[in-house]
Amino acid sequence: MAHDLRRVAIVGAGAGGIATAKQLLAERHFDQIDVFEQQASTGGVWNYVPYAPSDELRIPQTNPHQPLEEPKWAGSDDGTHAMPKPFFVTPIYDRLESNVPHCLMRHSDDLSLEDQPLFAGHRSVLQYLNNYAEDVRHLISFQTQVYDVRREDEDGHDKWFVCTKDLATNQVSEKQYDAVAVASGHHYVPMIPDIPGIRGWNAAYPSVISHSKYYRVPDSFKNKKVVVVGNSASGFDIAAQISTVCKHPLLNSQRSPAPEFQRDVSWQNDMPEIVEFLPCSDASQAVRFADGQVESDIDAIVFCTGYLYSFPFLSSLQPRLIVTGERVENTYQHLFYIPHPSLAFVGLPSKIIPFRTYEGQAAIATRVWSGRLELPSKSDMEDWEAARVADRGGGKKYHELSKLEDFRYHNELMDWALEAAPKDSDALPPKWSKRDAWVRKNIPAIKKAFADKGEARHRVRSIEELGFRCPEQQR
């Protein structure tokens, strides 16, 4: 990009936004770096909200074109009578522990997460992120919601107008930037499929159907007949927690076979996908599964079916970013908006080891925007997207980087970053090593061994304490 970019806005102060701010600051090229965060603190999706009202949940929910989330308000619980602060519901639940060991999860330049249990609890991760953000905190405007970002052409160059609202005062403002990094995450619009009969069923039995975004503790499922839809890591974890109080067996509806470590658990029956919610006149709170089996008298159904990509503040962009919500259109390397690459997205890929991936993406965006790296031609970037669609389809698998693809992706980004002319202030994250890849492959077994320790797991700090040792040839 030949045009000199000096002013950058970052949307979001979670792990991706903080990594981006750090890379931009280390580059010592940009005159203005502004980070806008709608929550009252850093941490993004890792902010835990004990109260998770689900009144805005639409059933079914397949439309990504939703308005901006409205904040909810909570007072301080520290006895200081502080002014209420806005909060936004996140998918973090009370007993959530990371599904990634801290030796992989932490940022490359901050090892302090390794002082926590091997699979850290969400409160520890949030504190880690808050500490990690300290040296860029002065760049962040908290309780500030970005409600519109629009592009205008100025002498053949992109100019981005970022419109924000101070949630405490309702004051709105607009600032102009040369580039925008969107790091607002993609865990805000829950996806609930439009299964035949679900609308009438939900109207007849309100509050029976919910989504994992609103799950917090298992208590409300006591002695209930429960169906959990989905077998992702969080789906299995939520099912395991609910199984401690619900009627047995818990029914787990799965579209694809569960990973080996999730099979043959005594408290759960694996079921195929739900194909119909039966009319109320035919059966009492019943559903039909793909194998024809009917289950009735169901007290609760929790959909752990993921989220839709949604960026309502970018709705004016053409060509469009969001069509079905299963992926972000017109993107190169899951990062740059092809028509105008002064817009970038940090954190689009799914099924990844997140923090290091964000660092790598931020490093590339920083070097491109400072002029130290060149992007391919627009046609070459379009060819990359077309090839990705041909290989993975245009749905949710487009951004999935599973089975070590996230490691290859990060390492290829780092190879690209090394093409930039060296700079004294370079803050390039390292590549993933062979040992890292070995740990990544063995995460399911490591996590199971960790969980099998019961309460003693909180004292485990390394994979070696669980009996795992990387083979010499993988070091």
CB atoms closer than 10 angstroms to residue 354 = 21
The yes-or-no verdict on residue 466 having pLDDT over 80 is yes
Confidence band of 265 (pLDDT split at 50, 70, 90)? confident
Confidence band of 307 (pLDDT split at 50, 70, 90)? very high
Closest by alpha carbon to 394, among 446, 324, 293? Answer: 324
**CA max distance for the chain:** 73
Quick one: what percent of the chain has pLDDT higher than 70?
95
- If you average pLDDT over residues 60-80, what whole number do you get? 83
Cα 248 from Cα 126, distance rounded (Å): 34
Per-residue pLDDT at 427? 85
3-class secondary-structure state, position 408 = helix
Task: Look at strands 179-182 and 343-345 and give their pairing.
Answer: parallel
Provide, for the chain, the percentages of residues in helix, strand and coil under a 3-state DSSP scheme, each rounded to the nearest 5. 30, 20, 50
Cα 221 from Cα 234, distance rounded (Å): 17
Per-residue pLDDT at 51? 83
Q: What are 141-165's pLDDT values in tens digits?
A: 999 999 999 999 998 899 999 999 9
Confidence band of 474 (pLDDT split at 50, 70, 90)? low
- If you average pLDDT over residues 291-296, what whole number do you get? 96
* pTM reported for the whole predicted model: 0.96
Per-residue pLDDT at 55? 81
DSSP state of 59: S
- Lowest-confidence segment of 66-75, 267-276, 390-399 by average pLDDT: 66-75
The yes-or-no verdict on residue 1 having pLDDT over 70 is no
Cα 377 from Cα 383, distance rounded (Å): 10
Q: What are 96-126's pLDDT values in tens digits?
A: 999 999 999 999 999 999 999 999 999 999 9
Per-residue pLDDT at 434? 95
Confidence band of 226 (pLDDT split at 50, 70, 90)? very high
The yes-or-no verdict on residue 475 having pLDDT over 80 is no
Take residue 97 and report the two structure tokens written for it. 């522990």
Quick one: what percent of the chain has pLDDT higher than 90?
87
- If you average pLDDT over residues 391-396, what whole number do you get? 96
Instruction: Tell me if 90 sits within 8 A of 46, measured CB to CB.
Output: yes
Lay out the sheet containing 157-166: strands in order across.
144-154, 157-166, 172-177
The yes-or-no verdict on residue 309 having pLDDT over 80 is yes
- If you average pLDDT over residues 324-334, what whole number do you get? 98
Q: What are 354-392's pLDDT values in tens digits?
A: 999 999 999 999 999 999 999 999 999 999 999 999 999
- If you average pLDDT over residues 35-44, what whole number do you get? 97
Per-residue pLDDT at 263? 66
Confidence band of 426 (pLDDT split at 50, 70, 90)? confident
- If you average pLDDT over residues 196-214, what whole number do you get? 96
The yes-or-no verdict on residue 77 having pLDDT over 70 is no
Per-residue pLDDT at 222? 98
Per-residue pLDDT at 83? 78
Average model confidence (pLDDT) across the chain: 94
CB atoms closer than 10 angstroms to residue 213 = 23
The β-bridge partners of 150 are 161
The β-bridge partners of 202 are none
Cα 94 from Cα 77, distance rounded (Å): 17
- Contacts with 197 (C-beta within 8 Å, 6 or more apart), sequence order: 276, 277, 278, 279
Per-residue pLDDT at 80? 55
The yes-or-no verdict on residue 260 having pLDDT over 80 is no
3-class secondary-structure state, position 405 = helix
